[in-house]
Amino acid sequence: NNGIAVYNRTLTLIQEASYMGIRLSKAEGEGVAWLKGIEFSNGILEFDVRGEDVKQHSFVGIAFHGKNDSTFDAVYLRPFQFRVQDEVLRNRGIQYISLPDFTWRKLRERFPGKYEHAVEPAPDPNAWVKVRIVIKDSTVTTYINGATEPSLVVEKVNHMHTGSIGFYVGDTSGGDFAN
């Protein structure tokens, strides 16, 4: 049974000149639009995503190796950090998490700078961004907008190596996904 199972969000369709896709509404807590009937282990995930330049309210990306609505890995962007002047904040433009045990807060406290990084060159925080994530065993490598150098390379912090994939939005965030 193909389709999408939406957790903690409302899904609407978007149709723009170059982008046909989905929009997830804003709400409290994490939200995911799971792609039903797909089991993913290793490979390449490519998609376009659009957040917004709203401080602390735009967290957009993809969940993978999902076991359920609260147990999954994710890589997401913080578009509002792409072009900030403060280098510490700019270095939080892209993030890896592994819920429920390894939230961004816990990873930042235990391993400062290891699971988040700046996105260079910095995209427009209100524009569509092309994301390419290469997952090979426990290594997760993320490229933004066709860059040859990755914006983030991390080793997974768990032993989940297969599961569902879905479009992810963080607490209070909505987001647009296409392609």
At 135-157, the pLDDT tens digits run 999 999 999 999 999 999 999 99
Mean pLDDT for 86-93 is 95
In this prediction the pTM is 0.96
User: 139-161 burial string, b = 16+ CB within 10 Å, else e?
Assistant: ebbbbbbeeeebbbebebbeebe
Concatenated DSSP letters for 22-55?
Answer: EEEPP-SS-EEEEETT--B-SEEEEEEEE--S-T
37-68: pLDDT as tens digits: 999 999 999 999 999 999 999 999 999 999 99
Is the pLDDT assigned to residue 1 strictly greater than 80?
Answer: no
CB neighbours of residue 93 within 10 Å: 25
